[in-house]
Structure 1
Amino acid sequence: MEIDIEKLNLVFNRILDRISSLENASIKLEADYYWMIPGDQLTNLNLGNIDPVIGSLSDDWMELSKLLDTERPVSFVDLDRLANLLRMMSEEYNPTNS
């Protein structure tokens, strides 16, 4: 599978625009802690057991915010952090999850 980055950016902005139409200036997430499946186990469907780890949305956001406030370089771990926030936003805003 191949994803065009420019198209992904457009899709992402449309989704954020939709959320912006529902919220004022911020997004409130009820949960902080979540289960995360390590990357090496995420797509291995042959595993009998998985070993989830605990993550924190507030920690994820704190680290991502540093990208705006400092010259900290972007890392690929930031994709994981962003993915965790997006996943929880999906849970919050999806009416079928209630």
Structure 2
Amino acid sequence: MQVTVSELRAVSEQLFLHLERKGYSSVELSADYYWNIPKELRYNPYEEPKELDLGQLTDDWANLCNVLEGKTDPLGYALVWLSTVLRAVGETVIE
């Protein structure tokens, strides 16, 4: 599977517009900690993961805010932090 950055940008914009049309200008996330499957095991459907670690949405969000405010440079790994926050938003706003 190959995705383009322009496609990712376009679908993201559609989804954010959808939230705004539904009346959301912010989303309250009640959970903070989440289970994470290490990258080496996440995409191997032939082996059940036995190792989990914890992630924290507030840490991920703080890292993203640092990028937004110019305190740290943008880097590709920031998409991982963004993905955890977006997952939590998507699981909270089910419409």
Per the TM superposition, whether the score is higher than 0.5 is yes
Other-structure match for 2:62: 62
What amino acid maps onto 2:72 in structure 1? R
CA distance in 1, matches of 2:28, 2:17: 16
Whole-angstrom distance in 2 between the partners of 1:9 and 1:52? 31
| TM-score, with length taken from structure 2 | 0.87
Q: CA deviation at 1:82?
A: 0.6
Q: Which residue of 1 aligns with 2:21?
A: 21
Q: Indicate the SS of the match to 1:34.
A: strand
Alpha-carbon separation, structure 2, partners of 1:85 and 1:48:
25
Letter aligned with residue 19 of structure 2: I
Aligned-residue Cα RMSD (Å) equals 1.6
**How much does 1:57 deviate?**
0.6
Unaligned runs of 5+ in 1: none
* Alignment-derived partner of residue 48 in structure 1: 48
- DSSP 3-state at the match of 1:15: helix
> What's the CA shift for 1:41?
0.7
Structure 2: tracts of 5 or more residues without a match:
none
Give the secondary structure class of the aligned counterpart of 1:55: strand
Tell me how far 1:3 sits from its aligned partner: 0.8
**How many residues in Structure 1 have an aligned counterpart in Structure 2?**
95
Paired with 1:48 and 1:71, the residues of 2 have a C-alpha distance of 39
In structure 2, the residue matched to 1:90 is 90
TM-score after normalising by structure 1: 0.85
User: Helix, strand or coil: the match of 1:84?
Assistant: helix
Q: Secondary structure at the match of 1:3?
A: coil
User: What CA deviation, in whole Å up to 9, does each residue of 1:5-61 have, x standing for no partner?
Assistant: 112101001101111233453221111111111111110112233311111111100
Cα 1:58/1:45, change in 2 over 3 Å: same
What residue identity is the alignment partner of 1:43? Y
